[in-house]
């Protein structure tokens, strides 16, 4: 059975340092037999300011971060979900797309998902306030891609709170979900595991959630707890805090048995409101 890997990082403001850290973790994942690896949101840059991503943005198909991802996928012969990276928007100098890129084992980019739901919130019970839309423009389509392991859906962090997105993905054949994230400690403690298990259970799919997990140079603290979850909602692997790699097996027989023996996806009823 193929192994899938969630990679957890504590990224900082230096892109080169972050890429070097990611390279070490990807090498570990590959050495342990990973066929698919998922990097966290903002793996290449957690800047001192939200506007730092503008200086690091790349044109689609060109730039050091995209080159790095392609080279790592080819070097380790694995499918690689590149967390999110800042991609340039033509005619917009003030915002980027938060793009989640999928590369195959030959280093070819085969899919791109731009984060749809942006984190513009005052965190309940906290002084934390975020306004991603100030520097990020939202995407406008959901993405599922074929891989040798199975049909892979892509989503990012705050997307997790919008179950209609994952229903759309499973309607397009999703069997495995990659969710790079950088959850806050407050929201992570309250909702992270609950939401991830719910998405796995209700869509009867595997979930690979790769997180930022620790204290960053900009003063922010992220929740971590990278998880791999099976279609019955069982947690197969987890990493609470700090950089590292966790792996689990993608068991197609398990997936098919859950969907056959408990056919809730077939029992969906659409009614008029």
Q: Which domains does the chain have, with CATH numbers?
A: 3-267 (3.60.110.10)
CA distances from 237 to 29, 32, 153, 163 (A): 13, 14, 20, 23
| Whole-structure pTM value | 0.96
Q: Return the structure tokens found at 242.
A: 């700090």
Query: Using CA atoms, how far apart are residues 128 and 124, in angstroms rounded to an integer?
Result: 8
Q: Which of 41, 58, 132, 175 is catalytic?
A: 41
What is the per-residue pLDDT for 224? 98
Q: Which of 115, 132, 175, 205 is catalytic?
A: 115
Q: Which of 58, 157, 175, 205 is catalytic?
A: 157
Determine contact, residues 212/42, Cβ cutoff 8 Å: yes
Is residue 115 flagged as an active site residue?
yes
Is residue 41 flagged as an active site residue?
yes
CA distances from 123 to 126, 137, 150, 185, 187 (A): 5, 21, 36, 10, 7
Q: Return the structure tokens found at 3.
A: 């192994």
Return per-residue pLDDT of the chain as tens, 273 residues.
899 999 999 999 999 999 999 999 999 999 999 999 999 999 999 999 999 999 999 999 999 999 999 999 999 999 999 999 999 999 999 999 999 999 999 999 999 999 999 999 988 877 778 899 999 999 999 999 999 999 999 999 999 999 999 999 999 999 999 999 999 999 999 999 999 999 999 999 999 999 999 999 999 999 999 999 999 999 999 999 999 999 999 999 999 999 999 999 999 998 998
Query: Using CA atoms, how far apart are residues 159 and 205, in angstroms rounded to an integer?
Result: 16
Is residue 157 flagged as an active site residue?
yes
Query: Using CA atoms, how far apart are residues 94 and 89, in angstroms rounded to an integer?
Result: 9
- What secondary structure letter does DSSP report for 72? H
Query: Using CA atoms, how far apart are residues 42 and 39, in angstroms rounded to an integer?
Result: 9
């Amino acid at each position: 059975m193929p192994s899938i890997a969630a990679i957890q990082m504590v990224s900082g403001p230096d892109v080169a340092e972050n890429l070097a850290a990611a390279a070490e973790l990807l090498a570990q994942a590959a050495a342990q037999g990973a066929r698919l690896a998922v990097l966290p949101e903002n793996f290449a840059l957690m800047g001192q300011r939200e506007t730092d991503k503008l200086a690091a943005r790349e044109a689609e198909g060109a730039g050091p971060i995209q080159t790095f991802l392609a080279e790592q996928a080819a070097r380790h012969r694995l499918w690689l979900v590149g967390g999110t990276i800042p991609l340039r928007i033509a005619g917009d100098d003030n915002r980027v797309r938060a793009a989640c890129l999928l590369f195959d084992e030959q280093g070819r980019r085969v899919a791109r998902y731009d984060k749809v739901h942006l984190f513009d919130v005052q965190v309940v019970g906290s002084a934390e306030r975020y306004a991603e839309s100030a520097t990020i423009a939202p995407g406008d389509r959901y993405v599922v891609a074929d891989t040798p392991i199975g049909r892979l859906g892509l989503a990012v962090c705050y997307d997790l709170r919008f179950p209609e997105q994952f229903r759309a993905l499973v309607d397009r054949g999703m069997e495995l979900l990659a969710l790079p994230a950088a959850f806050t400690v407050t929201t992570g403690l309250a909702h992270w595991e609950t939401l991830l298990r719910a998405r796995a259970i209700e869509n009867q799919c595997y979930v690979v959630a790769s997180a930022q997990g620790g204290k960053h140079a900009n003063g922010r603290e992220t929740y971590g707890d990278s998880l791999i979850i099976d279609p019955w909602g069982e947690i197969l692997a987890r990493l609470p805090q700090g950089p590292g790699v966790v792996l689990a097996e993608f068991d197609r027989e398990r997936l098919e048995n859950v969907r056959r023996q408990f056919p809730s996806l077939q029992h969906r009823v659409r009614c008029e409101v």
